[in-house]
Amino acid sequence: MNSKEKGRFGERAAAQYLTEHGYSIRERNFRSRHGEIDLVADDGETLVFVEVKARAGARPAEAVNFTKQQRFIFTARYYLAKTPTKLKTRLDIIEVFFTEEAGEMRVLKINHIENAFGARR
């Protein structure tokens, strides 16, 4: 599988994980000129912007460097400007660890890092 397919696999796994943990998926792959947010979800009184990183090895969250964090934050602000809300907001990362054998991908572990960038409204 190519990296785009692996990314989509990770996003589906993350969305399922969030749904199973009581979140409501509001939007997938929200794009602006600043960047993209993989998932936007409601968690009770909190609107959660989620960056999904899927890897077969290492720590997926390590791929979210300072520049990517800034783009993510700007994109979240753009979303809020277009879709005002009184909900609290949070920026999370979901790491999807997987294995791939003979073209088959299988989730090994999901790690949800809440408030990953420390930026909160």
The greatest distance separating any two alpha carbons of the chain, rounded to the nearest whole angstrom, comes to 47
CA torsion, points 50, 32, 62, 110, in degrees to nearest 10?
A: 30
Q: What is the spatial distance between Cα 26 and Cα 78, in angstroms, rounded to a whole number?
A: 16
Whole-prediction pTM: 0.89
| pLDDT digits 0-9 by tens, 54-64 | 887 777 667 77
Spatial neighbors of 44 by CB under 8 A, at least 6 apart, are: 22
Kindly list the structural domains of the chain, giving each domain's residue range(s) and its CATH number in brackets, ordered by start: 3-113 (3.40.1350.10)
| pLDDT digits 0-9 by tens, 63-105 | 777 888 889 999 999 999 999 999 999 999 999 999 888 878 8
